[in-house]
Structure 1
């Protein structure tokens, strides 16, 4: 067998294995069910007194948050380019103040056939018990229509010198100020404003009027 033909066959086998592995490890049992359980657990937390962002009155009528159906097209692997100069951004807050975040790296990826990029931030002054992670506030073309107008967030596990990260937009969530204006939330900065819709993750919360 000629070498180029052999390489083509190997490439075809590798492609088949890739899709097989993706379907196997991102199946209902391995991806969808845990994701749905996370959403159910969040609803349960929001109904409780301790960690709910709702007022007592709204909490009593709260039923559940609404989401887009899980879509693996919006779970993407992004290339990470660590910034040579990691400057501090004083990210605006909804009350007019700012909070310092480190501009740590740029994540580049493709969605809807278009190249995209998001800045990965790290909190400068995290709480003592706060898990080390990347904070990714972003806006997209669904904001103000199907999702919260102020944008949504992603939390990404932090790994030193990571070359790739998984951006799972099925886990995109709204800030607490989407449910209660008394909360203060970071406003997604200019460099994280996507010019495409991201129909994945949490939708706009509609208050239950019962």
Structure 2
């Protein structure tokens, strides 16, 4: 009986080690960068009182399953449109392309957008915006959805890493005009990756 118990324990121990995945350097860098920004008075969306007590955002554990290869399809000749925000202010975007990928055995598509105003600046001329919603919103993550940052792809296939999904500033404080993810960018799956919903310290 002792041998059997030892064998069972060994099996569970091996499984536990196999399931444990060390986060990659890009994920660690992402966490450090965003936490540093939230502590910086010049960049943080947090009110002064909260910023002074800020100990760090809460993240899902790194999951390589949410780091996928996506096929990028350019969609030229799209008509610019006003993307609704959390305020009365509208922001002008144009659909730049589409991303096709497999996540947890299911096929998905997300549209990626370019800000007309930011594209006129040198710093953000190659910046693309990827807002999305999923089944975690309102529970484990911010109810209004989350964002991913991209640059204009130079190849047909790109890496799409949901471990770097982050909340809009509206999740932390009022006074911001945060773009609301279009309905076509809803993922009918729980994206348990990236930044979780914000809880005050």
TM-score by length of 2: 0.83
Aligned residues: 179
Q: Deviations over 1:8-36 (max 9, x none)?
A: xxxxxxxxxxxxxxxxxxx96xx713321
1:130 aligns with 2:123: yes
Match of 2:140 among 143, 146, 160: 146
| Runs of 4 or more consecutive aligned structure 1 residues displaced over 3 Å after TM superposition | none
Unaligned residue ranges in structure 2 (runs of 5+): 1-20
Instruction: Give RMSD over aligned pairs.
Output: 1.7
Residue aligning to 1:88: 80
Match of 1:194 among 158, 179, 187: 187
1:32 aligns with 2:2: no
Quickly say closer, same or farther: Cα 1:48–1:149, change in 2 above 3 A: same
Q: CA deviation at 1:129?
A: 4.5
1:72 aligns with 2:64: yes
Quickly say closer, same or farther: Cα 1:206–1:122, change in 2 above 3 A: same
Say whether the 8 Å CA contact 2:132–2:181 is kept in structure 1.
yes
1:57 aligns with 2:30: no
TM-score by length of 1: 0.80
Residue aligning to 1:12: none
Distance 1:150 1:102 in 2: 21
Q: CA deviation at 1:116?
A: 0.2
**Structure 2 counterparts to residues 1-16 of structure 1, below 5 A:** none
Quickly say closer, same or farther: Cα 1:71–1:123, change in 2 above 3 A: same
**Structure 2 counterparts to residues 113-124 of structure 1, below 5 A:** 113-124=105-116
